[in-house]
Chains A and B, each alone.
Chain A
Amino acid sequence: MSHSTEIDSKQAWDGGQSPFRVSYGKMMMWFFLISDALTFGGLLTSYGFIRHKYADVWPKAENVFTHFPFVEQHLPLAYVGLMTFILIMSSVTMVLAVEAGHRNDKKKVIVWMFWTIVGGATFVGSQAWEWYHFIVGTETGALRHVWSQELHTYVEETVYGANMTVNEYGVPQFANYFFFITGFHGFHVFSGVMINLIIFLNVLKGTYEKRGHYEMIEKVGLYWHFVDLVWVFVFTFFYLL
């Protein structure tokens, strides 16, 4: 690198320079990500709490997510594995765009940003597909006690799929947490795709070429990697454990 990241610790806090050797924008992106990571951390710990409380009646993910597009067979966890692969892949293309930005290579930045956006959009689409199958449920359904508004009592009913009050596959809390956490994460991915798109258009327009550096790619890259980071945890806690 053309600069040294080494810093004399005696002079670091004397002023006139950033003791962290990062720009304001990048540092603030990191601080935002810490707060966002705490939100997700809180959500996932509370999920763990409820899950342990109802461990005996908690549905197993491999019995819930068994569908794969265009395939009739039951393939447990295959689709979510593919989704994870897509998101990790888009994280790699993002970091390659950042690297190309460091060399002021506009063409390569455009190529890698493009694939990142494609990967992100594919992931959001896959999540929508998975939600659809979770909400619709199986053909046989399952018997559950459901509160009847007319009779003011519980009646036994065949329930198909999951919503906020009933869940064909197990306790309703599973559906509640699934919708909330994957929904919150999915919204982050959606925002990430939108932000990436805006930055992509700026790259095409030559905004960063004029500016002389592609640091903006690095900042949105941080956000995008964070989205991938959260998914790694969601994947483990919802699908694997």
Chain B
Amino acid sequence: MSEFHDDYPSYEHMAHHSEEEGKKTRKTLWRVFWYMLAITIFELVIGSMAPAQGWSGTLGLKVLFIGLTILKAGFIVMAFMHLGHEVKFFKYVVLAPYLIFMSYTIFIVLDEGIYSGDPENRTKVDPILIKQQEDLRAGHGAHHAGGEATPAHGTEHATEEAHH
């Protein structure tokens, strides 16, 4: 042994626990698992019912799904990743920077999204993408299972566009 040695505590060894504590921990973990499974099944049921019920794309559904997702994320981070049991300082060091940066990112995207969501502000970046979006908006590119003839503004129209 060298004459220099630090007396820093070794945190690797701190995590040991007894059989009894293990039993308690396992019980909690399984409970969290059942919660998460229940939430996921609930989400899938609501998700598959949504189109028939006309819920698709409604604000309520979005808020519900995002809320449940954040709840599940909380379970994972706090119980599985054990952050709930860390020292308070450490919790803040992990969560605060992330939450600050993400709220800023989401703010910027919402702000810019409102601007560029306006049809007048749509920039024509890539003509082929614009073309395909126009197809879809016109219901032109829908699945043609019935084999109905498509209107004449197919190739000619495209060629005309290319001339401009």
Contacts and interface: CB of A to CB of B under 8 A. Distances in A.
A54 B132 contact: no
Nearest to A239: B47
Given A38-B98, A103-B18, A213-B13, A95 B29 contact: yes
Interface in B53-109: 56-57, 61-62, 65-66, 68-69, 72-73, 76-77, 79-82, 85-87, 89-90, 93-94, 97-98, 101-102, 105-106, 109
B12 A215 contact: yes
Given A7-B87, A23-B11, A226-B81, A62 B48 contact: yes
Interface in B108-129: 109, 112-113, 116-117, 122, 128-129
A1 B41 CA distance: 35
A65 B70 CA distance: 24
A91 interface: yes
Contacts, number: 228
A1 to B, nearest CB: 5
Nearest to A20: B90
Contacts of A110: none
A57 B142 CA distance: 11
Contact of A156 (B62, B116, B142, B150): B150
A235 B40 CA distance: 10
B93 A143 contact: no
Interface residues of A, number: 92
A22 interface: yes
Given A16-B8, A21-B87, A102 B137 contact: no
B1 interface: no
A76 B61 CA distance: 18
Nearest to B161: A154
A3 B14 contact: yes
A166 interface: yes
A19 B44 CA distance: 43
A107 interface: no
A93 to B, nearest CB: 10
A240 B26 contact: no
A48 B14 contact: no
A18 interface: yes
A84 interface: yes
B93 to A, nearest CB: 7
B34 to A, nearest CB: 10
Interface of B: 7-19, 21-22, 25-26, 29-30, 33, 36-37, 40-41, 43-44, 47-48, 51, 56-57, 61-62, 65-66, 68-69, 72-73, 76-77, 79-82, 85-87, 89-90, 93-94, 97-98, 101-102, 105-106, 109, 112-113, 116-117, 122, 128-129, 131-133, 135-137, 140-145, 150, 154-155, 158-159, 161-162
Given A21-B11, A156-B150, 10 more contacts: A45-B109, A85-B40, A101-B15, A102-B16, A140-B144, A142-B142, A145-B158, A146-B128, A236-B66, A241-B66
